[in-house]
Amino acid sequence: MSSDATPCPEGDSPPDSAFDIPTDAAGIEGLAAAGIAPAGEPLPATSARPPLGTGQLEAAQLGVLTLENGAAINVTLAYRHDGPGPDAPQILVIHALTGSADAAGDWWEPVIGPGLALDTDRYGVLCANLLGGRYGSTGPTSIDPATGVAYGGAFPQPTARDEAVALWALADRLGIDRFALVAGGSLGGMVAQEVALARPLAVGHLAVLGAPAAMGAMALAWNHIQLELLDALGERGLALARQLAMTTYRSEADFDGRFGRQVEADGRFSVASYLDYQGGKILGRFDPDTYRTLVRVMDSHDAGRGRGGIGAAFRVLESTGTGVTGIGIEGDILFGPAQVRALVDAAAGAGVDAVYRELASSKGHDAFLIEWDQLTGFLAEALADGLARSGY
């Protein structure tokens, strides 16, 4: 998701990638202004219950979390909450690979706010920077209290399930005991599944956008190449990994329409110039260790692991009456419609009330941050179902 994925003034170019989200309009400086120190610096202490409904980036210190791999880490999550507090219905939104907590002010701004699909006059909307992230949450650029220096590559590796545990710990800290809707795209859609499966009684509806029930071999292969580039070349490898990833975030039709065989003044193909620009851009706001950590979170995703398979995993949602919407994306190279349909079919086969919807778009995977009119309809439908199932 991306700064390029924010609403564009008329005449501006469309978003470039669903994996390119700044912290907010003011970048890292904006975090400091909101009371969140840049990653790697101590975060301010919070009260016993951090604030809700401020529309500001906040920090919640959650204490020690023990990861699936046995490592124990003291966790702080950066988050933003808009709208009323726990007495009203609550919605959890989860970001993609290099995202921030600022869904309502940035990457999903057209669907979160007063009178919008996720109406903050009526509902609370929570989004947090994932554990291991770059924008205020504990991650590789945070200080390891045992050494006094940044964790770097020694940061304990979380899984998608660890991310869900951290998000529920944040919800507990904020006094939220139930979500009418949990929604996320790409990596966010993977973590959203784990959030629902961790506490199915506390989720009315699960909306998964452009994500499978388990990482498939092709996506694992692309991630493997990116990780190899990081390991071999450091920051240069991060730039190249980003370029490789960008080719999976858009569709062939989009690249052909935007670039074709156009050549720049320096003799390079326009598409090559674009990829070089995106590779350089990631270096200004991310780092190899954080990127590696979150790619491995993605690789860990398998909703059926240890649960008897994907169908058996979703059966728990049937028993609790949780609804599911899988939203596929036309032309998605990374996680195509067939993978999202398979998720919906597995859930339906387990007895879950599950529906499939598809974004019609030429933009590929990034469509879940571009096709606002379609997203508005799909999210409103999922939320209405979640509200009904939650008794509102």
Catalytic residue among 137, 186, 251, 390: 186
Give the list of residues 6+ apart from residue 56 with CB closer than 8 angstroms, or none: 34, 35, 80
- Angle value at C-alpha 305, between 299 and 306, nearest 5 degrees: 145
The answer as to whether 179 is a domain residue is yes
Q: How far apart are CA 141 and CA 139, in angstroms?
A: 6
Query: What is the Cα–Cα distance from 258 to 355, expressed in whole angstroms?
Result: 33
Q: What is the pLDDT of residue 355?
A: 98
Cβ burial, residue 149 (10 Å; 0-12/13-18/19+): exposed
For 24, the 3-state DSSP assignment is coil
Residue 267 covered by a domain: no
Q: Is 355 helix (H, G, I), strand (E, B) or coil?
A: strand
- In sequence order, the 6+-apart residues with CB closer than 8 A to the CB of 265 are none
Picking from 61, 56, 43, the residue whose alpha carbon sits closest to that of residue 101 is 56
Full residue range of the structural domain in which residue 28 is found: 3-220+294-389
| Cα separation of the two ends of the chain | 31
The structure tokens 């529906």 sit at: 355
Between CA 191 and CA 197 the distance in angstroms is 10
Strands 72-82 and 124-128: antiparallel
Nearest CA-CA partner of 282 in 330, 241, 312, 329: 241
305: in domain = yes
pTM here is 0.89
Report the distance separating Cα 165 and Cα 172, nearest Å.
10
In a domain, 74, yes or no: yes
Which residue from 207, 189, 196, 124 is spatially nearest to 380, judged by alpha carbons? 207
Active-site annotation holds for 390: no
The single residue of 24, 302, 332, 385 carrying the catalytic annotation is 332
Residue 186 is a catalytic residue: yes
What's the pLDDT score for residue 25? 27
Helix (H) or strand (E) run with residue 4 in it: none
Q: Select which of 365, 366, 385, 390 is catalytic.
A: 365
Q: What is the mean pLDDT of each run of 10 residues along the chain (392 residues)?
A: 33 35 31 36 53 93 97 98 97 96 97 98 98 97 96 98 98 97 98 98 98 98 98 98 97 96 97 97 96 98 98 97 98 97 98 98 96 98 98 95
Q: Say if 347 falls within a structural domain.
A: yes
CATH number at residue 302: 3.40.50.1820
* 234 part of a folded domain: no
Residue 32's pLDDT is 36
DSSP state of 263: B
Q: CA angle at residue 285 from 279 to 290, to 5 degrees?
A: 90
CA-nearest of 385, 380, 388 to 112 is: 380
Please count the other Cβ atoms lying within 10 Å of the Cβ belonging to residue 277.
12
| Domain count along the chain | 1
The answer to the question of residue 174 being in a domain is yes
Specify the pLDDT at position 268.
96
Q: Is residue 209 a part of any domain in this protein?
A: yes
Q: Buried b vs exposed e over 1-26: b needs ≥16 C-beta within 10 Å?
A: bbbbbbeeeeeeeebbbbbbbbbbee
Is 353 labeled as catalytic in the residue annotation?
no
